[in-house]
Amino acid sequence: MANAAANGLSTRDLYLFNKGNYFHSYRTFGAHIVQLDGKAGVRFTVWAPNAKQVHVVGSFNAWNGDSHIMEKNGETGVWSLFVPDIGAGAAYKYEILTSTNERMLKSDPYAFASELRPSTASIVTELFRFNWNDGDWHQRKLEDSPVHEPMLIYEVHLGSWRNNGRELFWTYEQMADELVDYVVRMNYTHIELLPITEHPLDQSWGYQTTGYYAATSRYGTPAQLMMLIDRCHQKGIGVILDWVPGHFCKDDHGLREFDGTPIYEGKDWKRAEKPLWGTLAFDYGCTEVQSFLISNAVFWMDVFHIDGLRVDAVASMIDLHFDKPPELYTYNAFGGTENTDALRFLKRLNEVVFQYYPNTLMIAEDSSAWPAVTSPTYMGGLGFNFKWNMGWMNDMLRYMALDPNDRMRHHNLVTFSLMYAFSENYVLPLSHDEVVHGKHSLLNKMSGTYEQKFAQLRLFYGYWMTHPGKKLLFMGGEWGQFDEWKDAESLDWMLLDYELHGAMHTYVKSLNDRYGTTPALWERDSDPGGFEWIDVHNAAQSIIVFMRRGHAEDEFSIIVCNFSYHHYPEYLVGVPKPGLYRTAIHSEAAAFGGSVPTADSTKVHHSNKTAWHGRPCSITLDLPPLSFQMLSFANGEPRRNLEKTVLH
């Protein structure tokens, strides 16, 4: 292909792209600042197989592409052109002449930056010269499997964590100073960003994307985003990106009918349509689309050092009937409703990502009952290493909304999740989806009076933190945001000046610390041997007691949750060993907004010889209403440490 060589393209790369095996296609496609024949300029490359002609138009030619006609590279469907004497900052689009002689202006699918909405031009950008300082972080990632490490994720929408007013966003650089330090102080291990890929509508929160390779210009430049991620890594914080391969929006400048025909969405319009969201699904059986999407996943890890992806709406990808009316039903070649192309795509995606980036995070947001989502592909699984536990989330939020007097009849909502807790590697999500669209904030979901809502939320957080699985909490939940999330406004930071909200903030910080420093709560998350019921059947009193175990023999914690309004001043709990048990954290401590004096909330309990709950000995606890307690086996600790009162 002479045209490819003349424009500095590799015929091998174009061949791999067409076959669905070019996993770094961003190094070829898009706008790249290069030198050809001793001249500096920009090489433009785009896939538009059914176009009659493609022009590059932009700020450098007064948006008239007559003198910048791209050359088609054989039968690859790829067009390219080298334009000398332009560089970073130039705005451009592709003017496509369709097979029906219609002219369309399209943004670059591989653009590394875009104009601030509502403008839609792509921007020539140099991405590959940032000076990273996170080598130590990546070395640690290679050494530690995330399955056996703590993972406490703070989910963030950058436009509303803090801002200076409606559409007056903080920059990535400001976030690098403020957000990262806050996350470190609060003892989180990871930040998860709602999609920051370029999107036209603020209210979509990034879930309806036009620019998969462009960090949104709302918050600044790609270099500023790199600064934010680099700062996270230097502070020991991982960064997860919400990634949306399930659908794309229909805006005219985007991927829809990109060359006048449906090349990204596929020819079957019934399969392409996503009526619930007003979007289009990708054609996962198209090899060029596979190269585009898998390269995009690799791109964020390679170029931006992202530590993992939360893959959005997996259930909608693998089910051909997902949220569709009957008139849009289609079936696979075997007569079933599984999207076999999407299943093959997801497996290949995970295989490629883990080939290049072992121990990265590939997290499926999947509400289906599809089996083996987090099993390796060679064992028949989809190949993710984590999956959101939507069943646990739905059951527990329903349970916590009940009047405690009615909970005895719904005890299974608390206990059922342990029937399947070890079937996958789970993340327990308390995400943005649960605090919008009339669902109320987490605090306002709780039943009871104002004070009881806080007690219940502290109890719920305690149970969540000690249940098997990694954790995710949406911003604002850490102090009990009372109103639903408002995506156009800043979080209600002023609530921290109110006593109970400030105390909740202190509690969550302390609970986060206990989680991170207690291996029993995360070392064996996916191992049934890391969990043991002590009392699962006490529906009448709405109390559960269980144990979490670490790898070391004496590394275990006892968890007691009283979901009732009743006070049990002398409640007997069976324990596996005689000795001392230290109260590691008590949700009703006065410092957290509860009624128990601090000294009493951190006491040491001596076991007695009374066998109970099938255990050889027991301890006696005071269980206030709506309370959570975690006790650690403390025989190995010096007594001076046991008698300390410490609130983190």
Distance CA 245, CA 283 (A): 10
The rounded distance, in Å, linking the Cα atoms of 19 and 281 is 20
d(CA 549, CA 519): 8
Which amino acid makes up residue 386? F
DSSP string, 193-251: EPP-EE-S-GGGTTSS-SEEEEE-GGG--HHHHHHHHHHHHHTT-EEEEEE--S-B---
Determine what percent of the chain falls in helix, strand and coil, rounding each to the nearest 5.
Answer: 35, 25, 45
**Residue with token string 């994307």:** 209
Task: Determine the distance from the C-alpha atom of residue 570 to the mean position of all C-alpha atoms in its chain, rounded to a whole number.
Answer: 42
- The tokens for 54 are 């493609």
Answer left, alpha or beta for residue 311, where phi above 0 means left and psi between -120 and 50 means alpha: beta
Token code pair at residue 303 = 């170029």
Collect all residues with Cβ–Cβ distance below 8 Å to 629 and sequence separation of at least 6: 462, 559, 560, 583, 585, 586, 587, 621, 623
- H-run or E-run covering 173: helix 172-185
What angle do the packed helices 222-234 and 172-185 form, to 10 degrees?
Answer: 20
User: How far apart (Å, rounded) are the C-alpha atoms in residues 469 and 638?
Assistant: 31
* DSSP designation for 114: B
DSSP state of 101: S
Q: 581 near 574, Cβ under 8 Å?
A: no
Cα gap 105→41, rounded to integer Å: 22
- The answer to whether 217 and 113 have CB atoms below 8 angstroms apart is yes
By annotation, the residues acting in catalysis are 312, 365
Contacts within 8 Å (CB) and 24+ apart, 159-168? 159/202, 159/218, 159/219, 159/487, 159/488, 160/485, 160/486, 160/487, 160/488, 160/489, 160/490, 160/491, 161/475, 161/490, 161/491, 162/490, 162/491, 162/493, 163/489, 163/490, 166/488, 166/489, 167/202, 167/488
CA dihedral 73, 75, 77, 83 (to 10 degrees): 10
Where do we find the tokens 């006593």? 499
Pick from 467, 598, 460, 584: nearest CA to 517:
584
Q: Is 551 helix (H, G, I), strand (E, B) or coil?
A: coil
* CB-CB neighbours of 412 under 10 Å: 12
- Start-to-end Cα distance in the chain: 65
- Give dist(CA 535, CA 559) in Å, integer: 10
The rounded distance, in Å, linking the Cα atoms of 248 and 177 is 32
CB atoms within 10 A of CB 418: 17
Element containing residue 413 per DSSP (H, E): helix 412-415
